[in-house]
Chains A and B, each alone.
Chain A
Amino acid sequence: MSVVFWILAVITVLGGLTAVTLKNTVHCALALTVAFAGLALLFLELDAQFAGFAQILVYIGAVAILVVFAILLTRGSETPSEGVFSRTWFAGLLIAAAVFAVLAWAVVNSSAALPHETAAPTVNVQQIGHALMGRYVLPLEIVALLLTAAMLGAVIVAMHEKGEQK
């Protein structure tokens, strides 16, 4: 395990942790961006350059900005008087802890069977392009259709209805 991995893991986990615990929602969005960046760097550390840069472009470039827009459009940055956590927060925390315990138990128990260090795969953009245009051309087209439908759907859902009072 390299030092770089541990640094990136700490950045990612701390970013995620602050993103769900801070009071101010705008600060949460910023912490979320840090977590996304940490995950992108983990992808790069895993020799998945394409996925890492896709993560930076899509998550930091688009999703984080969308979240900030949504927060500002809904005045979500105002802290509610009765606290930021819901009434059933304890049950939620318990469920999350149980899920983590099960996942960690499974990983630690199967640790011996997991493959060890392997040579870094050499992947260039040409291979990815060939794969996207050959083996994965049908999923690519479906994703293109899905993104178009989602964009139209998001605009229609968030659009002002006719005759609605502002």
Chain B
Amino acid sequence: MTPLAGYLLVAALVFAIGLAGALTRRNAILVLIGIELMLNAANLNLVAFWRYGPHPELLTGMMFAVFSIAVAAAEAAVGLGLVIAIYRHARTTDLDEINRMKG
């Protein structure tokens, strides 16, 4: 197995774990944690392809990962803000109980 394949497999495993967390947990914050894990797995793919691909001196993959980290930080801030707003309104973060579009 080449090193790149090892990294890709680890990234696939982390992605699947994040997806499982996002799909199975009740708590909205845990769903966000799962989404963060999925984003991180994608970043690992980007950096691994940058390291083992042609022309690493162009920095393309690493820059992509760095920008992706910045966007993920923005997503986390807005997502957790939304969870807090929903909690204030519905008094719960249980996604099975938040089942109304109307407030």
Enumerate chain A interface residues (CB-CB to B < 8 A): 1, 5, 9, 12-13, 16-17, 19-20, 25, 28-29, 32, 35-36, 39, 42-43, 46-48, 50-51, 54-55, 58-59, 62-63, 66-67, 69-71, 73-74, 76, 80, 83-89, 91-93, 95-97, 99-100, 103-104, 107-108, 111, 114-118, 121, 123, 127-128, 131-132, 136, 139, 143, 146-147, 149-151, 153-155, 157-158, 160, 164
Contact = CB atoms under 8 A, between A and B. Distances in A.
Contacts of B53: 115
Given A66-B80, A86-B26, A154-B80, A29 B51 contact: no
B70 A147 contact: yes
A163 B100 CA distance: 23
Contacts, number: 255
B70 A58 contact: yes
Contact of B33 (A42, A67, A103, A118): A67
A154 B77 contact: yes
Given A59-B40, A100-B16, A146 B74 contact: yes
Contact of B69 (A59, A89, A93): A59
Chain B, interface size: which category?
Answer: 35 or more
A84 B26 contact: yes
Interface of B: 1-10, 12-27, 29-30, 32-34, 36-37, 40, 43-44, 47-48, 50-54, 56-57, 59, 62-63, 65-67, 69-78, 80-85, 87-88, 93-96
A71 B88 CA distance: 13
A11 to B, nearest CB: 11
A94 B26 CA distance: 17
Contacts of B54: 115
B18 A1 contact: no
Nearest to B16: A100
16 contacts: A1-B6, A5-B6, A17-B17, A43-B47, A48-B47, A51-B43, A51-B66, A73-B84, A74-B87, A80-B26, A99-B15, A104-B9, A111-B5, A114-B52, A121-B57, A146-B70
B52 A69 contact: no
B23 A35 contact: no
B16 A86 contact: no
A139 B37 contact: no
